[in-house]
Amino acid sequence: MSLLKKLAGETAVYGLSSILGRVLNYLLVPMYTRVFAPGEYGIVSELYAWAGFLMVFFIMRMETAFFRYGTKEENRRASFSTAWWSVLASSLFLALLIVGFSSQIGAWFEYRPDQYSYIAIFGLILAFDTLAEIPLARLRLEHKAIRFATVRMVGIGLNIALNLFFLLLCPWLLQKGIATGLVETIYHPSFGVGYVFLSNMIASAAVLLMLLPELKFVEWRFDKALWRTMFIYAAPLVLASLAGIVNEMLDRVLLRHLLTGTVEENLAQVGIYSACYKLAMLMSLFTQAFRYAAEPFFFANADHRDAKYLYGQVTKYFTIAGAMAFLGIMLYLDVVKHFIDEPYWEGLGVVPILLMANLFLGLYYNVSIWYKLTDHTMLGGWIAVGGAIITISLNVYWIPRIGYMGSAWATLICYAAMTAACWWWGRKYYPVQYNWGRMLGYVLLALAVYYGTEYLIGNLELSAAPAFALRTSALIAWLAIVWSMERKELFVLLRKSL
């Protein structure tokens, strides 16, 4: 129970920063969807999708290798130094390539020449973000959640402030004729969405500067033998990460190329899908906070006598939280949809599908811990590759036929299949006591409550106030059923904690 309390406490700290930070970042989405046309926002979505792929090669999963070999205090400094020098070399090399060939890459993307600078800025963003990952991983491993959260929040706050400055304040000052000369020296309307990337680059550089004190632990030598061990461990995780990015991001890349419209029309569809994807990713707020706390927790407690039972309990409560998030978003989608501008609402049909996909992705993170703990990372890589094959095949088949709805269904099927495969395979190497019957029951009950409520509202033709009351009652009813199923166990856990 003390371990669960510790995990819950750190998840709360990470969660506060993650949720607050994501909420603040999400508040930029309504501005983007109002300032930029769907085609322009599609450029933002496309480049961030590519950034996800490239980040894997920049970091080479050295942060997870650091968790694996730096858990023991006596090995931490050497592992930290080795990971840092490795990431420094890879990030600088790749960033220089991207910056140097930005014009050629921009031409390949069919961007206008004045947009080629976006590529160079992205190369620098990737370098700064990668160099910050290893120091941030050390903070997580040493349970310095508050400092971790502070650094992340400062970076997010600066990014938001710069977005507001460039996209709202500067145009307003020009419109009003205030300090025109000064504004025109730092702001050019034609740069457009480039200010989104420029703001990110400045904020990422600031985060790296704030983490410089952590670099005092870096030794001025490179342990080749240790690096080889860490690389062999991490290499299959790179494969898994690439496959994971394919599952998470490739749909936005394929939509542009497989839809049958013009480049501008396809980018508009990418923008609509991406904006609605943001609504579904509200569930990932908890998932991300959980991952920050859970990954070092799982490694640190792998030898605990009740580890497998603890992992099963953690997964069950994660499922409950995910199902509750699904209901909270879908039952009040009429309110949540105002988060994005009305021209993007045509894509709202993907939201319930993507919410379920994100829930299964969170479950996959839980059940995949076995191959990291048992050093069977190659098996995890093959599971992720299988998911990537599903993603690519279904997107290629469905996008020309049903557009971005096909991408949403492909995402759900992929994550559900990966979760099932990972659990089935993991039973042989690291069997964990998962209560699948109860967990799936809670998810199915959430689906039944949502669709049943919407059916009643539609057939009874309820107005806004009665519909809101019915939805709220449905959510309370689901929570009451879950509480009635879990209260005995929760009471036992509470007594043990006192």
pLDDT digits (tens, 9 = 90+) for 286-317: 666 666 566 666 666 666 677 777 778 888 88
Average pLDDT, the chain: 83
pLDDT at position 291: 64
How much is the average pLDDT of 316-330? 90
| Mean pLDDT calculated for residue range 340-367 | 88
Single-letter amino acid, residue 193: V
pLDDT in tens, 227-270: 888 888 888 778 777 777 777 777 877 887 888 888 778 888 88
Note whether 129 and 155 are within 8 A (CB).
Answer: no
CA count, 13 A, side-chain hemisphere, 295:
22
Rounded mean pLDDT, 36-46? 77
Q: What is the pLDDT of residue 126?
A: 92
Cβ 362 vs Cβ 321: under 8 Å: no
- Lowest-pLDDT choice from 10-24, 94-108, 224-238, 282-296: 10-24
More reliable by pLDDT, 414 or 43: 414
> pLDDT at position 497, please?
46
Least confident of 5-19, 28-42, 79-93, 416-430: 5-19
Task: Indicate the domain borders of the chain.
Answer: 1-27+236-498, 36-222
pLDDT tops 70 at residue 8: no
pLDDT digits (tens, 9 = 90+) for 259-293: 888 877 888 888 888 888 878 877 776 666 666 56
Across 323-327, 364-368, 458-462, which has the greatest mean pLDDT? 323-327
d(CA 48, CA 152): 19
pLDDT reported for residue 471: 93
CB 87 within 8 A of CB 134: yes
pLDDT number for residue 298? 65
Count of C-beta atoms within a 10 Å radius of residue 29: 18
Least confident of 54-68, 182-196, 235-249, 296-310: 296-310
Query: Cα separation of 391 and 388, whole Å?
Result: 5
In the chain, what percentage of residues exceed pLDDT 70? 88
* More reliable by pLDDT, 142 or 477: 477
pLDDT surpasses 90 at 443: yes
The separation between CA 357 and the C-alpha centre of its own chain, rounded to angstroms, equals: 13
Q: What is the pLDDT of residue 380?
A: 81
**What is the structure's pLDDT at 15?**
53
Instruction: Answer yes or no: is pLDDT of 418 > 60.
Output: yes
d(CA 498, CA 493) in angstroms, rounded, equals 9
**Rg, Å, the chain Cα set:** 23
Work out the percent of the chain whose per-residue pLDDT is above 90: 27
Q: What does the pLDDT average to over 388-414?
A: 92
Mean pLDDT value of segment 196-223: 89
Distance, CA of 208 to CA of 489 (rounded, Å): 44
